[in-house]
Amino acid sequence: MAKIETKFIEKKKNERIIGQISGKEKGPTLVLFGGIHGNEPSGVEALEHVFEKLKGSDLKIRGSIFGIKGNIPALIEKKRFLDNDLNRIWTHSGIDAIGRRNRKERSVEENELTTIHQLITEIFETQSPPYYFIDFHTTSSPTLPFITINDALINREFARLFPVPVILGIEEYLEGPMLSYINEKGYVAVGFESGQHFTEDAVTNTISFIWLSLIYSGIIDKEQIPDYKKHHKELSAAAKGNTIFYEIIHRHRITDSDNFKMFPGFSSFDKLPKGIAMANHNGEKITAYKDTIVFMPLYQVQGEEGFFLIRRIPQWILSFSAFLRRIKFDSFLASLPGISWSNSSREKLMVNLKVARFFSKPFFHLLGYRNRMVDQTHLILYNRERAAKNEMYKDAFWYNN
């Protein structure tokens, strides 16, 4: 892949808003983020490109489009982050704590979060629903372009419009991603990983994804974009025709004090045989414990995940899962011994550990329960499905009730 040098730093290095356009007709609100990680500038580059095209066009636009730059200080330094990972601190308790401190007491990323959080709040207050949020990223290793989502049906249905693979369940392994925070509010929120850092392909794939997002969200009619088929075809070709849904089954966690080195030559979606040597972690060789598929192997200094392992989800399981969620099959769980609702909105289940051992992890996944908070005696399971604002999207062409 060809390497590129980004231009945005010299042009508009301190501007948060990459672009903002509102149409004459009422419509959805599409919010696009680039550069939440400072060593991933492809999203910013692509957003600047598309907004320049939009501003000089006569396209009929419904609703509003926002392009937002993420971690500006880290983008300038071309580092993932300076003090804290900006994509790991979006928790309710964390945001409340940050809000109680003044600017001088906060870290670089905490100040960035405060500014972005305020901007998102203003968008909710001033712009019309339905809301769509897309966060653009790249990876340190070669990869097919892919989507990551929190596992709610509205996210699934929107994500399957794009000709790329979709990864479910990453929120179960990561604490504090920005999109998880937004998705907990019930809105469509999609992450797009366009390719390897600083490559031309990553920018090109993001540009295509943005144009498709404008169409699929209802901002612009497909007929107005003469390059629609080209963008769709190029994105499909970059993904090698892979539109499979996968779920994460393992995270290899690392800390700043660890000595981790991924062995060279691994790319996301590579199929690996059992026993293959993958990495060296604190002097210990890490091997694949089964035939598996590697996902996001780490080839950079900063990061909390050495790699993930994923598996394919059969279509019948996705369909069965959707059926169970639509009939709210999980409602009966709270009547079982040792299981109860944790809050009045019925978005969380409190499960006694003695009971939980009789239920497999995939069983809870079927019903939409992913995140887990563990204390000494209980699991707390979070359900994205019950938080989802399905009514907001019922008029979208892709919505499947």
Q: Which secondary structure element, helix H or strand E, spans residue 111, and what is its range?
A: helix 108-126
Q: For 177, which DSSP code?
A: -
Class of domain 8-243: alpha beta
pLDDT tens digit string along 166-208? Answer: 999 888 888 899 999 999 899 999 999 999 999 999 999 999 9
Picking from 21, 23, 24, the residue whose alpha carbon sits closest to that of residue 32 is 21
> Regarding predicted confidence, which is higher, 32 or 335?
32
For the four alpha carbons of 153, 158, 164 and 167, in that order, the dihedral sign comes to negative
Calpha distance 10→365 (Å, rounded): 46
What is the rounded CA–CA span in Å between residue 141 and residue 164? Answer: 17
- Asked if the model's pLDDT at residue 9 lies above 60, the reply is no
d(CA 97, CA 373): 19
Q: What single-letter DSSP state applies at residue 22?
A: E
How far are the Cα atoms of 245, 255, 282, 301 from residue 262, in angstroms, in the given order?
Answer: 25, 14, 12, 11
What is d(CA 345, CA 347) in angstroms, rounded to the nearest whole number? 6
Which residues, in sequence order, are CB contacts of 355 under 8 Å at separation 6+?
336, 337, 338, 339
**How much is the pTM?**
0.92
Which residue do the tokens 């144009």 mark?
Answer: 211
C-alpha distances in Å from residue 310, one per residue of 25, 68, 136, 292, 358 = 43, 31, 21, 7, 24
Residue 362: predicted pLDDT: 76
Question: Which residue ranges make up each domain of the chain?
Answer: 8-243, 248-312, 323-383
DSSP H or E segment with residue 316: helix 315-326
Q: Tens digits of per-residue pLDDT, 234-293?
A: 999 999 999 999 999 999 999 989 999 999 999 999 999 999 999 999 999 999 999 999
- 109-141, pLDDT tens digit by residue? 999 999 999 999 999 999 999 999 999 999 999
